[in-house]
Amino acid sequence: MNRSRTPQSLLSQWLHDRLPADQWDWLQQTLVTCAKSNTDRELYIALGMAPRKLGKADLALSDAELSDAQAAYAGWTPSDWSIDGAARLLVLLMLAEQNQADFDTTLRSLCATADVSESIVYYRGMALFPHSAELDEQLGEGLRTNMSAVFEAIAHNNPYPQEHFDDHRWNHMILKALFVDSRLYPIQGLDQRANPELAQILCHYAHERWAANRPVTPELWRCVGPHATPIMLADLQRASQSKDPLEHQGAMLALSQCPLPEATKYITAFPDTAEAIANGTLTWDALTYRLNSTTQ
């Protein structure tokens, strides 16, 4: 199978397959108008009109289309994208291709006055634009949002952070996800980008939660296990003794990933859980599933 298509051509194909002829014609006309225009006015109107003209239905991609997306850009996961969002992104990708230097300025200005759905589209699509220091700065701005949906547009199912964030920004994104009650598992590169500094920050955060008698999400320990120091082992042990089964399981999974020899002794204290980890019935994926089914 030839899967050498670009994100731009895929978006265009998906929209072509889904839009009625008159809406598709409007989109083609709009792309031509925006490409020819010397001012931003046409662009603002095109982006503003997209949901009005095309509707906001789910794009609802098939499995085959989703794997095309992955082949076109590793990590690209448009599984819950919408029609209007795809159209907006198509317009922007065309402009980026036309003139990258101007595009950075244009996108920053669009982000500055975006409504919530626009922000979500721009940040979700950020990895697909030509990378630049300008866009990177915009991503930093986006991370400071108070709107969880906008934060998750950056953090979740997005290849950008894994590829481009330095450890400092990465670590603060993880910590913020915990603060705003976002899940960690949809963050791409969660295991690969774990680091000793992050493990330390998360253990301090767990202590704050414990001091305030607040629960600690089991997902937190996933980033601690592989980099735990002997002092952090004590935290893992404490969490492994939790009466909350999910917290217990999270801590046990983290212990099983800890290279320190003492970790073994804490694992063997709970033979049933140890067995479930050893035979593969308890994994981070399985725990995530249980976590979602108990709290959603």
Partner 1 sequence: MMFIDPHAHMISRTTDDYQAMAASGVVAVIEPSFWIGQPRTFVGSYIDYLSSIIGFERFRAGQFGIRHYCTVGLNSKEANNQALAEGVMEILPRFALKEGVVAIGEIGYDEQTDLEDKYFRLQLELAKELDLPVMIHTPHRDKKRGTTRSMDVCEEHGMDPSKIIVDHNNEETVQEVLDRGYWAAFSIYPSTKMGNERMVEILAQYGADRIMVDSACDWGISEPLGVAKTAKLALQRGIPKEHVIKVCYQNALDAYGQSGQMHEDDWLNPAPIDQRTVYEGNSILRGGRDPLVEDATAAPPNKLNADKLIIK
**Contact residues: partner 1, CB under 8 A:** 41, 44-45, 48-49, 51-52, 56, 58, 80, 82, 112-120, 146-147, 149
Q: Please state the closest distance from residue 1 (CB atom) to partner 1, in A.
A: 31
Least spacing, CB of residue 233 vs partner 1, in Å? 37
- Nearest distance from residue 143's CB to partner 1, in Å? 15
144 burial (CB, 10 Å; 0-12 / 13-18 / 19+) is exposed
**Whose structure tokens read 């098939």?**
62
Min dist. Cβ of residue 149 to partner 1 (A):
4
Q: Whose CA is closest to 66, among 183, 74, 187, 149?
A: 74
**Contact in structure between 190 and 224 (CB atoms under 8 Å):** no
> How far is 177 from 61, CA to CA, in rounded Å?
27
Closest to partner 1 by CB, 82 or 217: 82
Give the residue with the Cβ less far from partner 1, 153 or 201: 153
| Residue closer to partner 1, measured from CB, 18 or 131 | 18
Nearer to partner 1, 120 or 232 (CB): 120
Closest distance of CB 41 from partner 1, Å: 7
Q: What is the closest distance, in whole angstroms, from the C-beta atom of residue 54 to partner 1 in the complex? A: 13
CB of 146 to partner 1, least distance (A): 7
Nearest distance, CB of residue 227 and partner 1, angstroms = 32
Nearer to partner 1 by C-beta: 83 or 287? 83
Closer of 86 and 206 to partner 1 (Cβ):
86
Within 10 angstroms of residue 142's Cβ, the number of other Cβ atoms is 21
Calpha distance 151→177 (Å, rounded): 8
Burial class (CB in 10 A: 0-12, 13-18, 19+), 268: exposed
**3/56 with CB nearer partner 1:** 56
- Going from the C-alpha of 142 to that of each of 102, 105, 126, the distances in angstroms are 20, 16, 11
Which is closer to partner 1, CB of 90 or CB of 277? Answer: 90
Distance between CA 215 and CA 192 in Å, rounded? Answer: 26
The DSSP annotation for 42-111 comes to: HHHHHHHHHHHHH---B----HHHHHHHHHHSTT---TT-BHHHHHHHHHHHHHHHH-HHHHHHHHHHHH
Nearest to 201 by CA among 235, 224, 177, 185: 224
